[in-house]
Amino acid sequence: MPPHPETWLKVLPEGLFCEPGGFFIDPPGPVPRAIITHAHADHARPGHGAVLASPETMALMDVRMGEGRSGAQRQVLPYGEPITLDGVRVWLQPAGHVLGSAQVAMEWQGSRAVVSGDYKRVADPTCMGFEPIACDVFVTEATFGLPVFRHPPALGEAARLLDSVRLFPERTHVIGCYALGKCQRLIALLRQAGWDGPIHLHGALIPLCQAYERMGIPLGELRPATVAAKAELAGAIVLAPPSAIADRWARRLADPVVCLASGWMRVRQRAKAKGIELPLVISDHADWDELCATLTEVDAPEIWVTHGREEALIHAAEQQGRRGRALRLVGYGDEDDAGVEAVPGETALGGKVVA
């Protein structure tokens, strides 16, 4: 009988560890050998000994951390190409979260575990779609693991933004969006929704947009948003990191309409407390329906939940006849939430969400 994944894939203080392979997956601190699912800061830390990731993730880590800072030895592994690490067969499969994001599939002595990293199931023009892999244990996130979280179609959210731009042609629309993934997806969505004019970028967003374009993701005409040219930005669409939309930088724009693109914009009180005039519910994480559908599709007898709202998802897994387990891994935040700290008293989310 194949060994149970619990005997070879372990939760150590340093993170999720594949013992026979001798590697960690997305460890929160430097380790001798790491496999990285994607380049968001809570999954990709600098300073490992050996690091393995998809070519796109490696390139994005170089942009974020500085060339070669992710690890002393760096190895890229394209999707679907298996390698063997000390007897463990390992391959990467698209996770649909951001460019380069990968699920890590591992097989040891006939036992198969898949670590999804962060993922979503809806189409995203800036990255390859999630590919389900049948397995014995599926390790999933649960960032939006409550039935109240249902993301509307993202293209409709982009169209709402363009409606507002047409309604207020003299105002500057400034949209807070996370620098890696959300920003480029929002640009691609605006192009799909029919906006072919320039899109202006806060300086912090420019290097990652350039990296996406180098890797073959066209984003159309992008211009730096210099607040000095205030008049020029009247009627413009300006993208900025979430932390910049509330500060003086944004207030100096022409009568700004402050927007934020995040799955958390489903929670109206969050948008209100942050002074967001136009909340856009756009998320790179699976919503409740996507999470539940994924459990059915990969059809693993066991579901391990890394972080997020694990209780409801574990309950749903158990109702499907699967064993659920909360790993409670530390160190993972939610990139969507960077610069948008939780509203005090909001942690009892269930009671306060406007569904």
Sites of contact with Zn ion (CB under 5 A): 40, 42, 118, 335
Q: Which is nearer to Zn ion, 42 or 297 (CB)?
A: 42
Phi and psi at 169, nearest 5°, equal: -70, -15
In contact, 240 and 249? CB cutoff 8 Å: yes
Instruction: Provide, rounded to whole angstroms, the least separation between the CB of residue 75 and Zn ion.
Output: 21
Instruction: Provide, rounded to whole angstroms, the least separation between the CB of residue 329 and Zn ion.
Output: 10
**How many C-beta neighbours within 10 Å does residue 336 have?**
26
Q: Which is nearer to Zn ion, 302 or 334 (CB)?
A: 334
Residue type, 278: L
Instruction: Provide, rounded to whole angstroms, the least separation between the CB of residue 118 and Zn ion.
Output: 4
Our CA angle for 221, 118, 8, nearest 5°, is 145
Q: Which is nearer to Zn ion, 6 or 42 (CB)?
A: 42
Q: Which is nearer to Zn ion, 43 or 171 (CB)?
A: 43
Q: Which is nearer to Zn ion, 310 or 335 (CB)?
A: 335
Instruction: Provide, rounded to whole angstroms, the least separation between the CB of residue 335 and Zn ion.
Output: 5
Instruction: Provide, rounded to whole angstroms, the least separation between the CB of residue 103 and Zn ion.
Output: 13
Q: How far apart are CA 64 and CA 25, in angstroms?
A: 19
Q: Which is nearer to Zn ion, 85 or 281 (CB)?
A: 281
DSSP string, 32-92: SEEE-S--STTT--S-EEEEEE-HHHHHHHHHHH-TTTTEEEEEE--TT--EEETTEEEEE
**How many C-beta neighbours within 10 Å does residue 169 have?**
8
Instruction: Provide, rounded to whole angstroms, the least separation between the CB of residue 132 and Zn ion.
Output: 19
Q: Residue 127's closest CA among 205, 207, 60?
A: 60
Instruction: Provide, rounded to whole angstroms, the least separation between the CB of residue 253 and Zn ion.
Output: 29
Beta strands in 101-236 (DSSP E): 102-108, 111-115, 137-142, 173-176, 199-201, 222-224
SS3 at position 328: coil
Instruction: Provide, rounded to whole angstroms, the least separation between the CB of residue 141 and Zn ion.
Output: 7
Q: Which is nearer to Zn ion, 54 or 172 (CB)?
A: 54
In contact, 122 and 154? CB cutoff 8 Å: yes
Q: What b/e string do you get for 130-152 counting C-beta neighbours within 10 Å, with b at 16 or more?
A: bebbebbbbbbbbbbbbbbbebe
Q: Residue 209's closest CA among 194, 224, 192?
A: 224
Q: Which is nearer to Zn ion, 307 or 322 (CB)?
A: 307
